[in-house]
Homo-oligomer: A and B are copies of this chain.
Amino acid sequence: MVDRVAPGEQPDGRGAEARAEQPADPGTLRPGGRTARVRAAVLEAAGDLIVEAGLTGLDLAEVARRAGVGKTTVYRRWATTTGLVADLLAHMAEESVPRTETGSLDGDLLANAELVRATLSDPRQGALFKAVIAAAATDPRTADALHRFYRIRVAEWAPCVTTAVARGELPAGTDPAEVIRAVSAPLYYRLLTTPEPLTPDLAATAARATAAAARAGAYARTAPATETGGTGAPDGGAAD
């Protein structure tokens, strides 16, 4: 149960300020009943508000009001909207769903793709992910939290690729993390760059395409089966 957004934050070089005792961030010394209750209420209210009004509409005073909590408390413990979003992300990570095992690479990848699709399509979770990504693009702290989150998620699913390699379904040297990322990537890309909904068909395509590419050795760290063939490309200018 993570309680602090990020402990290693205070500037450290506070020597001149006196104050022999450093108070250590609020919520750490007495995480008991009330503190935990406050965190739960605030995170829920924050989630609701993001879903309703987007990241822009997330102001801490309103969160406090909805959570039935003092405005001061919210500012003291989370300070900024991005700080709150980062904690929300940590909270989401805590209650993540374990991966399923189907026995075949195709089945596992499809299950993964479908799980991602369902999550991103869910009105609440989808909005939260968008908000988190937006916040991370802006704030380094939130970005750290986001990177940690995805590292864990990828590691959680990587074994299904390792097993597939062991079963001989995929060439040796295939990078498991890269395969897992390849399944999610198209779904996120669609979510962010097109107005269309994420269909189950899209998830299936992502899974199938990744499996096909992996079998062709495209994710092998050593020499791949397919030939590169192309020459370099110009740089500069805007791209998609």
CB distance from A213 to the nearest CB of B (A): 4
**Size class of the contact patch on chain A:** 35 or more
Is residue A166 contacting chain B, with contact meaning CB distance below 8 A? no
B238–A93 touching, CB < 8 Å: yes
Q: Which residues of B contact A82 (CB under 8 A)?
A: 56
Is residue A159 contacting chain B, with contact meaning CB distance below 8 A? no
**In the complex, chain A residues 43-81 whose Cβ is within 8 Å of any chain B Cβ:** 54-56
12 contacts between A and B (CB under 8 A): A106-B228, A118-B233, A133-B192, A134-B138, A150-B194, A182-B209, A185-B190, A207-B228, A207-B230, A208-B218, A209-B213, A212-B216
Q: Contacts A112-B240, A136-B192, A189-B189 given; 17 further ones with Cβ under 8 A?
A: A107-B229, A110-B233, A111-B231, A112-B239, A119-B236, A133-B137, A149-B240, A153-B239, A178-B205, A180-B240, A184-B189, A208-B228, A209-B213, A209-B219, A212-B216, A212-B225, A216-B216
Binding site for B on A (CB under 8 A): 54-56, 82, 92-93, 95-97, 100, 102, 104, 106-116, 118-120, 122, 125, 130-131, 133-139, 143-144, 146-147, 149-151, 153-154, 156-157, 178, 180-182, 184-186, 188-190, 192-195, 204-205, 207-219, 224-240
